[in-house]
Structure 1
Amino acid sequence: MTNETKTSAILHRDTHFVPKKAIGGKGCYVFLEDGTKFLDATGGAAVSCLGHGNERVTQIIKNQMDQISYCHSAFFGTQVAEDLAKLLVDSTGGKLSKVFITSSGSEAVEAALKLARQYFLELPTPQTERTRFIARLPSYHGTTLGALSVGGHVQRRQPFEPLLSKNVSHVSPCYAYRGKRDAESDADYVARLAAELEAEFQRVGPETVCAFVAEPVVGAALGCVPAVPGYFRAMKAVCEKHGALLILDEIMSGMGRCGTLHAWEQEDIVPDIQTIAKGLGGGYAPVSAVLISDSIVQTMDKGTGQFRHGQTYQGHPISCAAAFAVQKTIQEQSLVDNVRTMGAYLETQLRRRFESHPHVGDIRGKGLFWGLEFVKDKATKEPFDPKHGLSYRIQEKGLQPEHSVSLYGCSGTVDGIKGDHLILAPPYIVSKEEIDIIVDTLEKIMKEVFASL
C-alpha cells in the first residue's frame, strides 16, 4: 500500500491505486488536478451524453434545489417527476404508457424483474408458476443480486455465484462476429437463435418463464454488438408464443446513444418493459427509469393496483430535474441527429484506420457507440492470452498525460475470461475535430501497446 492509498478513506475500485482528481469539466473535456485537459471519449461509461458543465442543465438543477430537494413518493409527488414521465411516455409514441423512476441502472433492472413477476400474479387467473427468467451470455445487467443473476458476465458473477438466483438460465447472444457460421445467412442465424430460445423455454417449462431479458446492443460485456436484422422480431415472437414478456435493457444503448432515442425503434418491435439510465440524466444526477407497456399497467390497475416495490429515492426531484433538462436539451438541439452524423463519421474513421490492422478482428456499433475487438490472429480469431491484460493496458495508456483520453477497455469477450475489446462512446455534442483526435490518439496508443507485447 502506498502512502496515498493509506491516506485515502475511500475504498477505491483498486485498493492499490488512487485515481487523479477531476476538478472541472466543459464540453467533451474533464480537467484534472495536475492541469491535464482530458478528452472524455467514452462519456465515462457511456453516460455523459451532453458532455460536462452544461450551464442550462446545472441551472435547472439549482432551481429545483431552491424549490424542493426531496420528498417521499409514498406521501407526495412533484411536478418535475410528472414532466419527466410524460416526456418519456411521449417519446415512445405512447407505446409504453407509464414510468417508474429510480436512481441507477441496477435498480431499474431489479424493478423490471419484480414487475414482470408481479404482472403474472395480477392476471385475472394468476400464473403463480412463472418464476423464471431467460437472458443471454455474456450480457451485463447490473451489480445487485437480481441484476447480476440475469447477467451472464463470468468475471462479475464469479465471486457471488452461491448468492445468485437459480431461477435464471442463459442462451447465446446474437454475436455475428463469433456466432454466425461461415456461409450462414442472417435469416438462418436468426432462425437458429430463435430455435435455441424455443428449446430453452421447453427445457425449463414455457409456463414457468416470466420474461426474456436482452440488451438491443450489447455494451460492456461484448463491446457494442448490435443484433442482426430480424433478431428481436424473432425473439419477441417466441416470447409471445409462450405468454412471456420481453424486457429490453437499454441502460447503456438507449436514450439516443445508438442514433434513435430508443434502440428498439430500429428493431421494428416494442418491448413490454424497458430499462434506461446512463444517457437519461447524462451524469448530472443519478437517475434511471423503467418504461412499462399499457397492457401491464392495465392488468396491475385491475388487480391490486399496487406495485409491491419501492425505494426511498424513487422519483427524486433533483434527479428528475436533471433528466428532464438533459432530455429537453437533446430534443431542442437535435442531438440525436448529431449522434447519427458524427457516428457515421466515427465509423468511417475507425474502419479507414483499423480495418486492416493485424490485431483488430472486428469493428462494430451504432450511433456514437463503437467497439473494437482485438485478436492475436485475425484469420483464426484467436484472442490474446488474458495474462497480457491487453484492453486494460490500452485503457491505462490512454490515462497517461501525453495521451489524456478515456478508452473503455473490457475483457472476457470470447468466453467470459479470454478476449479483449474497447468501447468508444463520446458525448452527443462531439465534433469532427474531436473524433479525429480520438482516432489519432487511439492509433498512437495501440502502436505503443502492441509494440510492448
Structure 2
Amino acid sequence: MAASLTPSNSLLYKDFHKHPAALIESASGIYLETSDGRSILDASSGAAVACLGYDNKQVQQAVVKQLLSVPYCHPGFYKTRPAEELADFLVQSTNGLMSKAVLCGSGSEAVEVALKLAKTYFSHLATPEPDRSHFIARVGAWHGATLGALTLGDFKVRKEPFTKLISQNSSRVSACSTYRGLRPGEDEDAYVRRLAQELDDEFQRVGPNNVCAFVAETVGGSASGCAVPVKGYFPAMKAVCDKYGALLILDEVMCGMGRTGSLHAWEQEDVVPDILVVGKGLGAGYAPVSAVLVHSNLVDSFQASGKGFAHGQTYMAHPQAAAAALAVQRIIRDENLVARVGAMGRYLERKLKDRLLPHPFVGDIRGRGLFWAVEFVMDKQSKTPFPKSLELHAKMHSRGMKKGYEIALFNANGGYDGYSGDHFLICPPFIVTEKDIDDIVDRTARVITDTFAELAQSVAWRQATLGMKLAGPVQGFDIAAGESEVITVR
C-alpha cells in the first residue's frame, strides 16, 4: 500500500470523530504557522508550557548536542552530566531548602512520584506510621490524568469515567478562591481562618494519623482558572499540617518556574513545601520533562533510614530532556525573564481588565504574572454560570482558531461545580512584548464579542437561558468597538 501524502487522522488524542483542524508546519517566536498559510498567535504558550517561544536557538543547540553525544542511557545504571546539573540547578534555586530532585517526564508522572515519596517518608520513619495513606486535596483541583493523580483531582468531567479504577484514599476541602469562596462581609483574614478550620476538621474526620499530606496547586491551574491564594492562606494550611504531622505538597506544574512572577510560586506565599512538583515551563516544550523537589528535612530522614525509594521509570533523568530544561532555565536566569514576567504581567492585567471586565458576561479576571483567566457568567450579581450544554468555553476556543481571529486561548470548564463554569486562560510566553499583549487583548475581545453575537441568534442560547428571571433584555457589549448592543432572550 502506498504511503499517504497527507495525515490520515490515525492519531487519537481526545475525540474519536473530530480532530484538530490546524496542522502546524512550523513555529517561531509566539506564532504557530499552519499548513493553510495562517499564523496562530499562541496566547496560552500551548498549556502554559512554551515560555521561551518556539525557536530558541540556544535550547535547540543544547538538545542537538546531547542527542549527538548521549541520546539515552538507563537511569538506574548510569548518570549523565545534564541530569546532574539540572538537579543541582533546581536545588540551588530553592537556596538549598530542597536538597534532592527527581527528574520525570510529565506533570502527572511527577505528581505520582510526589505521592509515593510522601508515603515512603512515613514508612521509613524510625517509628513507622503505615496508616498514613490518605491525601487531602481541594475542590476544583486538577493534578493530572494518570490514575494516582486523578485520585486527587476534582475535574469531574475527566475523573468520573474512571472512578471505579482509582483509589478512594483522598478527600477534598474548599479551595482558596475569593471570587466564589469569599462570603459577603467576610474579610480575607476571616476567610483564611475559616479555610484553616475546614482543613483541621477534615483531619479530625479522616483521623489525623491517617493523613499523609495536603496537596494543592499554589496558584490554581486550568480547572479552577488561575485562582490566586490570599495572603496568609498557605502558612495557615501548613500550620494545620504541622499540627498533625502531615506533609504539604505543592503542585506547581502549571504555575511554577517563573510563570507567576517568581521562579517558584511558593516564594510569594511565605511558606516552604515539603515536596514540590514542577513541569511545563521547566523545559518550555523543547522536551517532555518535569521534576519533584524534596525538602532537606525529608531527605535527612530518608538517608537516616538507610532504605531506598521503591520507584523507577525508563525515561527518568532523560539526558536530552535534562539538557533542554537546563538550557531553558539558564536563559530565564541570565536574561532576567522572571522579572520581565512581573512587568509584562502587570501590563496584561491592566489591559484585560480595562477592555473585558465591562462586558456583561465577563464575571472575573484573575491571575498573577503571565497567568490569567477570564471567567464567564450569565449574571454578574448571582455569578450564575452558563449551562454546561452550551459549551461556551469550547465555542470561544474554536472561534479563536478560525481565520480572521487566529488566537489560541486555553479553554476549560467545571470551575463552578466540576461540570459548569466556563473560562479560558491567557498565559503567553515570557518573551511577549507590550505590542503583543495589545494584539492578544484585541483578538480576545473580538472572539468574545462575536461569539456572544452569534449565540444570541441561536436555539442553544434560547434553551440555555430559558426561565432566566431578567429585568428586561440582556445587554450585550461590543468590546471590539466599544458600543452597546441588545441581546434579547425570548
TM-score by length of 1: 0.98
- C-alpha separation between the residues in 2 aligned to 1:409 and 1:213? 24
Give the CA deviation at 1:196. 0.4
Give CA deviations for 1:400-452 in whole Å, capped at 9, x if unaligned: 02111101111111001111011001000001111011100011111111112
- Structure-1 residue corresponding to 2:426: 424
Mark the CA change 1:6 to 1:26 in structure 2 (over 3 Å): closer, same or farther. closer
- C-alpha separation between the residues in 2 aligned to 1:385 and 1:66? 53
Q: Is the 8 A contact 1:129 1:208 kept in 2?
A: yes
Indicate yes or no: 2:295 matched with 1:296.
no
- Structure-2 residue corresponding to 1:415: 417
- Structure-1 residue corresponding to 2:11: 10
- C-alpha separation between the residues in 2 aligned to 1:446 and 1:263? 30
1:64 to 63, 66, 72: 66
- Structure-2 residue corresponding to 1:321: 323
Q: Secondary structure at the match of 1:7?
A: coil
- C-alpha separation between the residues in 2 aligned to 1:323 and 1:331? 12
Matched pairs, number = 451
Give the CA deviation at 1:37. 1.0
Alignment of 1:296-445 (within 5 A): 296-445=298-447
- Structure-2 residue corresponding to 1:206: 208
- Structure-1 residue corresponding to 2:175: 173
Give the CA deviation at 1:11. 1.1
Give the CA deviation at 1:162. 0.8
Q: Is the 8 A contact 1:248 1:271 kept in 2?
A: yes
Q: Secondary structure at the match of 1:226?
A: coil
Give the CA deviation at 1:378. 0.7
Rg (Cα) greater in structure: 2
Q: Secondary structure at the match of 1:218?
A: coil
Give the CA deviation at 1:6. 9.9
Alignment of 1:23-102 (within 5 A): 23-102=25-104
Give the CA deviation at 1:380. 0.9
Amino acid at match of 1:421: H
Q: Secondary structure at the match of 2:225?
A: coil
Q: Secondary structure at the match of 2:314?
A: coil
Give CA deviations for 1:183-241 in whole Å, capped at 9, x if unaligned: 10100000000000000000000001110000011111111111111100000000000
Amino acid at match of 2:9: S
Amino acid at match of 2:393: S
Q: Secondary structure at the match of 2:160?
A: helix
Give CA deviations for 1:84-139 in whole Å, capped at 9, x if unaligned: 01111111111111100000000000000000000001111111111110000110
Q: Tell me which moved more, 299-308 or 441-450.
A: 299-308
Give the CA deviation at 1:38. 1.0
Give CA deviations for 1:275-306 in whole Å, capped at 9, x if unaligned: 00000000000000000001111111111331
Q: Is the 8 A contact 1:5 1:16 kept in 2?
A: no
1:281 to 268, 272, 283: 283
- Structure-1 residue corresponding to 2:476: none
Give CA deviations for 1:365-398 in whole Å, capped at 9, x if unaligned: 0000000110000111111111211111000000
Contiguous gaps of at least 5 residues in structure 1:
none
Q: Is the 8 A contact 1:84 1:324 kept in 2?
A: yes
Q: Is the 8 A contact 2:362 2:376 kept in 1?
A: yes
Give the CA deviation at 1:4. 12
Give the CA deviation at 1:12. 3.0
Q: Secondary structure at the match of 1:297?
A: helix
- Structure-2 residue corresponding to 1:143: 145
- Structure-1 residue corresponding to 2:156: 154
- C-alpha separation between the residues in 1 aligned to 2:420 and 2:42? 27
- C-alpha separation between the residues in 2 aligned to 1:225 and 1:17? 31
- C-alpha separation between the residues in 2 aligned to 1:452 and 1:5? 33
- C-alpha separation between the residues in 1 aligned to 2:13 and 2:193? 45
Give the CA deviation at 1:5. 11
- Structure-1 residue corresponding to 2:264: 262
* Identical pairs, percent: 50
Q: Is the 8 A contact 2:155 2:419 kept in 1?
A: no
Indicate yes or no: 2:228 matched with 1:223.
no
- C-alpha separation between the residues in 2 aligned to 1:392 and 1:328? 36
Q: Tell me which moved more, 297-306 or 97-106.
A: 297-306
**Alignment RMSD (CA, Å):** 1.3
Give CA deviations for 1:56-91 in whole Å, capped at 9, x if unaligned: 100010001111010111110011111101111111
Q: Is the 8 A contact 2:62 2:327 kept in 1?
A: yes
- C-alpha separation between the residues in 2 aligned to 1:447 and 1:110? 41
Mark the CA change 1:432 to 1:191 in structure 2 (over 3 Å): closer, same or farther. same
Amino acid at match of 1:156: R
- C-alpha separation between the residues in 1 aligned to 2:341 and 2:15? 33
- Structure-1 residue corresponding to 2:466: none
Q: Is the 8 A contact 2:66 2:319 kept in 1?
A: yes
Q: Is the 8 A contact 1:4 1:18 kept in 2?
A: no
